[in-house]
Amino acid sequence: MAAFTEAGLAVSPHKVGPDYIDPGYHSLATGRPGRNLDAYLCGPDLIGPLFAHGAAGCDLAVVEGVMGLYDGASGQGELASTAHVAKLLRAPVVLVVDASSQSRSVAALVHGFASWDPGVRVGGVILNKVGSPRHEELLREALDSSGVPVLGALRRVPQVRAPSRHLGLVPVAERRAEALEAVAALASQVREGCDLEAVLALARGAAPLSGAGWEPCGAFPSPAPSRNRGLRPRAPESALRASSSNAGRAEISTPDRQQSQERPVVAMAGGAAFSFSYAEHAELLTAAGADVVTFDPLRDEELPPGTRGLVIGGGFPEVYAPELSANEPLRKAVAELAASGAPVAAECAGLLYLARELDGKPMCGVLDAAASMSERLTLGYREAVAVSDSVLAEAGTRMRGHEFHRTVVEPGAGAAPAWGLHAPERRVEGFVQQGVHASYLHTHWAAEPGIARRFVERCKA
């Protein structure tokens, strides 16, 4: 992504699956919002429209996969796998192979991936972690008869490594300078080791999406115009259109900005401690009639002026618990806003921040619950139903979400729980009280855009 961006192309970055951290690096590489394509959270029918929305006006769209090519939602076949999304987009696949400790066997591996599903077009392979020029020569010789062209070979380079901790890579928001250096090193390595023109040629061969009459709905702001100057591909039609039969699910009518009714301010937590959010959430809130203003709970001692609603997404408050606790003026402001009955949506990290304490450090005290780190990783997709009426959904609303945390909250649910989860075990979790909806469950609001409308309507009320 960075190599193509530096060459003057407008690159639209996408990530298969629910992960928040990789899109942060994508945004750093391209200057555009990193966007997720998750066929479990949003359903297969929305993959095309969400892709088209993000890629509109761009020269090239790059979609990073998740796990192995054919790994999807547990027990549900190909659902939400990289292969599934590639088929939905009718996009060719570049297979990146860890070539360390093998030579001729790489041909068998690539042949297996390329032939496993006839509906997946593996258009090329990039050899990763190549040890030496001789190693690369052996690998290329082995792949000569595979029918899959080699598009590049990348050596082991320490500068491109990114540090990890208990939930994956350290986010860009916490190491921006170092991340910029790593992305620049990656771009340099790709320019030297990969045939970018061949990759572009492969992208040009992507088939148009089915029912190509769809246009990005009025729920979202218009994207920035293309600034392509350099390696010049023709604009991929598949990045501009999707099925008209899908448009209705994603569409929200855009409010008239000239209307007399005030646009309520919705404060959205950001910064190093709260860096997990899908780009479409702020866009849907804006389209529903709100002015979204980002603030940093680590630094700002007040909520944005005129705040009528609050959204606190995911992140790493456990890493910053002392600093969050030390910002007593903001903790008090959040507690007062919640006590007033204003809408507050808190997801995972937001749940911890609203608790009475986190690892013994005082938090906002909106919820009578204590949060702490644990040894157990809670991870997976979830089927959920809203148990209580809330600012986000009516009781009985069905959603799909995911959990990803190493913390626990005691108690795990309030007198009015937020969600009933059906897998892997049946349980209730989260809190609904006054205008607060707090839960561990991450959801993608594009799957049910009525969430944003309902939240903004409550802010106006």
Provide the β-strand partners of residue 344: 310, 436
217: which DSSP letter? -
Catalytic residue list contains 348? yes
| Order of strands across the sheet that contains 307-312 | 291-295, 265-269, 307-312, 344-347, 436-439, 431-433
248: which residues sit within 8 A by CB, 6+ positions away? Answer: none
**Which token pair is 339?**
């006590």
Do the strands 398-410 and 442-443 form a parallel or antiparallel pair, or are they unpaired?
Answer: antiparallel
**Cis amide bond preceding 411, omega within 30:** yes
Please give the Cα distance from 39 to 428 (Å, whole number): 24
Please give the Cα distance from 183 to 194 (Å, whole number): 16
Please give the Cα distance from 451 to 40 (Å, whole number): 18
Please give the Cα distance from 221 to 399 (Å, whole number): 25
DSSP string, 81-143: SHHHHHHHHT--EEEEEE-TT-STHHHHHHHHHHHH-TTS-EEEEEEEEE--HHHHHHHHHHH
**H/E run at residue 60:** strand 60-64
Please give the Cα distance from 106 to 100 (Å, whole number): 10
Phi/psi at 51 (5° precision): -65, -45
Q: On the CB side of 342, how many CA atoms lie within 13 Å of its CA?
A: 22
Helix (H, G, I), strand (E, B) or coil at 443: strand
What are the b/e assignments for 422-433, b being 16+ CB within 10 Å? eeeeeebbbbbb
Helix (H, G, I), strand (E, B) or coil at 183: helix
**Which token pair is 96?**
């990146």
Side chain identity, residue 186? L
**Catalytic one among 42, 194, 217, 348?**
348
* Whether the Cβ atoms of residue 370 and residue 323 lie closer than 8 Å to each other: no
Instruction: Tell me, rounded to whole angstroms, the distance of Cα 79 from its chain centroid.
Output: 17
Find the farthest-apart pair of alpha carbons in the chain and give their distance in angstroms, rounded.
71
Residues annotated as part of the active site: 348
